[in-house]
């Protein structure tokens, strides 16, 4: 038997055309579309303003391949981690991070990852497939519901910092964001969305040329080529000079400053040479730096640098008028912190 198409793969025009071909009112297609996206409907049976006969037709022709929360964990600090079951029995993880003034969704873009960052647990998994736009959307809709249920406020921010490299699933990530920001979807502002990349230069250029409205973060971790190649071997294909030119292009097109995500490790990038290299790298285009707390992934080569070294980074950046923030990790007790997502639930 032929597999049914996921109805959410249809555009509104395609859905309207289906209704017309089946001698059904066009406006009903808009109602179904609203159920699918704005109301995050999981079943045709939930579409109460659609006739039973029409729902039966939809069931016969289509499926809704929605995600399910397979396992749920809540950290001592309030962070929530979801193990998300996809329609084909694969899994990804997503995280809700609550703070006093906001709630942030950390979403995944791929099942596994094709990159080889030595310090990241996800990189030890094979990349099995890209997530579809609806699977990306569903993560956000699910976390938005959790934010309302547990913290009494809607989701305020979204970061693509979960499993996978978003720019290696570019088209689906862009389509997912379009739905998230659409008035027919969740209606979130693109200014509240950040896409984080490990530095795929040519795709940063494409994003800029596509005139995207969301924010860009780059996982840098070293502005010295040799060190960066050692801790992130794939970057040999994306040298720092190419990354620099891509970020210049990004700013010239979007006028949005880039955020550099940067972890400081003992005996890796904890000296003046690395501090000065980061300062110099930040100067060529407007930027800010997030110094991220390292979260153990059972690789003995990586250990957090001392507070003294972190302070030296902060002093050097501030003296050069480069905004810097210390980003404390959340959800470490449930392996939900940055770099720890690997479908490993306790």
- Could you name the CATH architecture of 68-334? Alpha-Beta Barrel (3.20)
pLDDT in tens, 164-183: 999 999 999 999 999 999 99
Query: Residue 346 above 50 pLDDT?
Result: no
**Residue 60, SS3 per DSSP:** helix
> Do residues 317 and 282 lie in contact, with contact meaning Cβ atoms separated by under 8 Å?
yes
pLDDT tens, position by position, 122-144: 667 777 899 999 999 999 999 99
65: phi then psi, degrees, rounded to nearest 5: -85, 65
Q: Annotate 224-291 with DSSP letters as a single string.
A: SHHHHHHHSGGGGGS-HHHHHHHHHHHHHHH-PPEEEEEE-BTTTS-SHHHHHHHHHHHHSS-EEEEE
Q: Are 346 and 73 in contact (CB under 8 A)?
A: yes
Every domain of the chain and the residues it spans: 5-63, 68-334
Q: What amino acid positions are annotated as catalytic residues?
A: 93, 338
Calpha distance 32→55 (Å, rounded): 10
Asked if residue 223 lies in contact with residue 240, where contact means CB atoms within 8 angstroms, the answer is yes
CATH no. for 5-63: 1.10.150.530
| Domain 5-63 matches domain 68-334 at the CATH topology level | no
Q: For the whole model, what pTM was predicted?
A: 0.90
pLDDT at 314: 97
279: number of Cβ within 10 Å: 17
Q: What pLDDT is recorded for position 330? A: 64
pLDDT digits (tens, 9 = 90+) for 5-38: 999 999 999 999 999 999 999 999 999 999 999 9
């Amino acid at each position: 038997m032929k597999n049914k198409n996921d109805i959410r793969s249809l555009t509104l025009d395609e859905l309207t055309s289906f209704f017309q071909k089946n001698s059904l009112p066009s406006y009903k297609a808009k109602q179904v579309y609203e159920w699918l996206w704005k109301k995050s409907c999981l079943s045709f049976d939930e579409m109460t303003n659609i006739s039973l006969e029409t729902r039966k037709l939809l069931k016969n022709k289509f499926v809704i391949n929605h995600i399910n929360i397979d396992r749920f964990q809540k950290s001592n600090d309030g962070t929530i981690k979801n193990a998300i079951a996809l329609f084909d029995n694969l899994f990804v993880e997503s995280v809700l991070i609550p703070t006093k003034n906001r709630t942030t969704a950390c979403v995944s873009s791929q099942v596994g990852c094709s990159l080889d960052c030595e310090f990241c647990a996800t990189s030890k998994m094979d990349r099995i497939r890209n997530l579809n736009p609806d699977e990306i959307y569903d993560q956000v809709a699910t976390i938005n519901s959790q934010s309302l249920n547990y913290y009494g406020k809607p989701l305020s921010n979204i970061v693509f910092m979960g499993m996978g490299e978003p720019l290696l699933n570019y088209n689906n990530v862009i389509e997912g964001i379009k739905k998230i920001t659409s008035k027919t979807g969740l209606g979130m502002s693109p200014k509240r969305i950040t896409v984080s990349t490990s530095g795929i230069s040519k795709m940063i250029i494409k994003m800029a040329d596509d005139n995207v409205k969301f924010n860009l973060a780059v996982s840098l971790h070293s502005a010295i080529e040799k060190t960066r190649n050692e801790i992130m071997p794939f970057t040999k294909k994306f040298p720092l000079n190419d990354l620099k030119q891509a970020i210049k292009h990004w700013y010239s097109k979007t006028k949005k400053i880039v955020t550099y995500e940067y972890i400081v490790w003992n005996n890796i990038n904890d000296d003046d040479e690395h501090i000065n290299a980061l300062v110099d790298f930040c100067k060529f285009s407007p930027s800010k730096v997030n110094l991220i707390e390292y979260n153990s992934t059972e690789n003995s080569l990586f250990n957090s640098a001392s507070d003294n070294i972190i302070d030296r980074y902060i002093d050097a950046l501030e003296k050069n008028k480069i905004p810097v923030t210390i980003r404390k990790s959340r959800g470490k007790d449930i392996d939900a912190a940055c770099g720890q997502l690997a479908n490993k639930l306790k």
